[in-house]
Structure 1
Amino acid sequence: MTPPGPTTPTNGSTTHWVLTIVCADRPGIVHAVSGAIVESGGNITESQQFSSDDTGTFFMRLQVQSAVDRAAFELHLAPVVARYGMDLTLDVVGRPMRTLVLVSTAAHCLNDLLFRERAGQLPLEMPLVLSNHPQLSGLAEFYGVPFESRAVTSPEQKAEFEARVLDAVAEFDIELVVLARYMQILSPELCDALAGRAINIHHSFLPGFKGANPYRQAHARGVKLIGATAHFVTSDLDEGPIIEQNVVRVDHSRTPAELMAIGQDEESRTLTQAVTWFAEHRVLRDGARTIIFK
């Protein structure tokens, strides 16, 4: 799928494109791609590649400056794409990715995303924040982002909420859905509809603590490491391909409140990094894991 973008060069006389390529690994791919780019008059400014021994799949990410428009560039690439059966995406470097954010009552992840988007540190366009609680409406309003809340206390309400998610995805041409501490389990049907374009964040402990107040449980067990994991959403709860993880060491002197504050910082940092990489087309799926071109 090729994201929407300019059809004529921008930034003066050239456009800076980002390409990602996924296909079965075989000899000659890099040579063929590079040759097509050169023939189009393009200049490769960044190139990364990886061959997966696990799946026999080839992955590549390039940034290319070119004076030709999208149609001409795609025309030069088309024979190579067909020859190798490539799944190719083509986008403009830095184009804001249209993102829907789902939240509940915790503000830390949403605040970090909104702040960094406003500061120009995150290439996102957020047309809507959806929540199953009204508490974060003021935060979204502060950043000028529309906010909707709908209670989810019954199966019927859950179905209505998820229908609104899909409506918003279609209405705003959403490319990424971020679960920024949205404390509801998505239905298998919604997981399937958002496959490969929904990212979740959750705390990570060793051992793992489930249920209410995991930080108090962690304190009671004397944990020494607190972390966070950002991953793609799948119907297997918290088992989707991992995009980013971070960890920080703690000791017995930390109170449950301090552990929570540390954990929330890690959650915010980890989610924002995963979202940034996704928006920059640096995340490619290789079965149950991800390839990250940093």
Structure 2
Amino acid sequence: MSHTVTPASAPAGTHWVLTLSCPDRPGIVHAVAGLLAEHGGNITESQQFGDPLSGLFFMRVQVTSSATYDELAAALAPVAERFALQWSLDVAGRPVRTLVMGSTAAHCLNDLAFRQRSEALPVDLVAVVSNHTSLEPLAQFYGIPFHHVPVTAATKADAEARLLALVEELDVELVVLARYMQILSDDLCRRLAGRVINIHHSFLPSFKGARPYAQAHDRGVKLIGATAHYVTGDLDEGPIIEQDVERVDHTRAVEDLVALGQDVERRALARAVRWHAEHRVLLDGHRTIVFR
């Protein structure tokens, strides 16, 4: 069982979001809806999906209830044991404590910070970490603490230890790689599994690694894209959350693709971060189930 601890003092009539996965079998929806009803729950949104490939069932429910977290968790316990549920319960709309990592490109960081301020993106940007100092003025503009953590081959282990210390110190729930041009170690990826989202400036699985727009231009592509995915130890192979594309033609130079691509990157990353923060993304092996 896994769950996000929510404030014990959540007021009566709290809007909760419950997500779960388990082996698919009859009776899951009935059992979950029943226990919520028994605790005065009014379901406002419900989505479910049974994956025939993995044999797993996935569900996301938003419910208003006067029950406390502890009461709902206690009620879920026998159902979780009966159906082998993996579940999460949180206050709907609670800002997720988020650390953004970048290098020199500012467009993704700027977009996330702007959306948090103007569009109620449900994240709390608690820190910006960068291996350069280029993003410090932008972080200061938005009032986000900036941490310069240089990375070289000799200092990579120390830099990752500093990152983990910040994650612990700041109670970070989500790490966003907003064009952070460093590869995370396998150990770090394992320790933060399911908690790191990367934006890759390419329509994965094509054009992996460095200079994807130059690769795409060389192949004469008609669509350029960006991919937001969870980070794993396999470079650019993590479960995909969102992708977006822009149509191009032979008249476009590499520089044009880069400029257009930055806008695609912003859109794809913002949607992936929002869906993660709203508990709409559930892992299904090397795939994701996204309840939009």
Per the normalisation by structure 1, the TM-score is 0.94
Could you tell me whether the CA contact under 8 Å between 1:102 and 1:178 is conserved in 2?
yes
> Partner amino acid for 1:6?
P
Q: Bigger shift: 234-243 or 64-73?
A: 64-73
For the structure 1 residues 149 and 74, does the alpha-carbon distance in structure 2 shift closer, same or farther, using more than 3 Å as the test? same
Contact 1:116–1:122 (8 Å) recurs in 2: yes
Paired with 2:100 and 2:192, the residues of 1 have a C-alpha distance of: 13
Mind listing any 5+ residue stretches in structure 1 that lack a counterpart? Answer: none
User: Within 5 A, what are the aligned runs for 1:152-231?
Assistant: 152-155=151-154, 157-204=155-202, 208-209=206-207, 213-231=211-229
| Cα distance change on mapping 1:105 and 1:184 into 2, 3 Å | same
Provide structure 2 residue ranges, at least 5 long, that are not aligned to the other structure. Answer: none
Partners of 2:204 and 2:63 lie apart in 1 by 43
Aligned to 1:63: 62
Q: Report if the CA contact (8 A) 1:202-1:230 is conserved.
A: yes
Aligned residue pairs, count: 291
Partner of 1:107: 106
- The match for 1:37 is 36
Stretch moving more, 191-200 or 252-261? 252-261
Q: Give the whole-Å Cα distance in 1 for the aligned partners of 2:282 and 2:19.
A: 8
Give the distance between the partners of 2:20 and 2:227, measured in 1 at CA.
26
| Superposed CA offset, 1:107-157 (max 9, x none) | 1111111111111431001111111111110000000000111221223x1
Change (3 A) 1:161 1:284: same
Deviation string 1:250-281 (CA, Å, 9 cap, x unpaired) is 01222322211110110111011001000000
Partner of 1:140: 139
Matched residue, 1:2: 3
State the Cα distance separating 1:69 from its structure 2 match.
1.4
Which stretches of structure 1, 4 residues or longer, exceed 6 Å deviation after superposition? none
Give secondary structure in 1 for the equivalent of 2:163: helix
CA–CA distance in 2 between the matches of 1:99 and 1:24?
31
Q: Which residue of 2 aligns with 1:241?
A: 239
- Partners of 1:239 and 1:154 lie apart in 2 by 23
1:213 Cα deviation after fit: 4.1
Q: Contact 2:208/2:236 (CA < 8 Å) preserved in 1?
A: no
| Separation (CA, whole Å) in 1 of partners of 2:87 and 2:229 | 22
Task: Report the secondary structure of 1:243's partner residue.
Answer: strand
Letter in 2 for 1:195: A
- Secondary structure in structure 2 of the residue aligned to 1:204: coil
Q: d(CA) in 2 for partners of 1:209 and 1:160?
A: 30
CA deviation after TM superposition for structure 1 residue 209, in Å:
4.1
**SS of residue paired to 2:99:** strand
Instruction: Tell me how far apart the structure 2 counterparts of residues 25 and 6 of structure 1 sit (CA, whole Å).
Output: 31
1:150 corresponds to which letter in structure 2? V
Structure-1 separation of matches of 2:46 and 2:208: 42
Against the structure 1 CA distance between its residues 35 and 265, is the aligned structure 2 distance closer, same or farther, given a 3 Å change threshold? same
